[in-house]
Amino acid sequence: MLVIEGISGEGIMLVRLEKGSLELREKEIKQIIKKHFPDMDEEEKLLIKLMEKNAVSKEKAVKTRITKFIENLIKLNRLKKTKDGKIYLTDLGYGIACGAKKLYRE
């Protein structure tokens, strides 16, 4: 059985597998997750876009307008901001982008 639990205030959704569900294949797990979350959210779209632009370090950061949305992702450690206002993915942001891309684009 797949149990989906939200962690409020953290901006993440925890997906927890109950005992006995580890036999589920990756395809089945993707189908279950997509049933509850059929589309990417704005965070995932932005993180994938930055990943595809290879914005993964200070040197490869991209210029963008810093909005409340971006500031929130910085607080959640998905993004980092350079002194000159460019942004790039943290390791956590990159991992989320990889997972979302694999889930929604494959």
Mean pLDDT, each 10-residue run in order, the chain (106 residues): 50 58 69 76 93 96 95 95 95 92 81
**pLDDT for the residue numbered 8:** 46
**pLDDT for the residue numbered 6:** 47
What phi and psi, each to the nearest 5 degrees, are found at residue 39?
A: -130, 155
d(CA 103, CA 81): 27
Domain boundaries, the chain: 1-38, 40-106
d(CA 14, CA 2): 11
- Collapsed DSSP state (helix, strand, coil) of residue 79: strand
The bridge status of strand 2-7 relative to strand 12-17 is antiparallel
d(CA 90, CA 81): 10
**pLDDT for the residue numbered 12:** 57
Tokens standing for 57? 């370090």
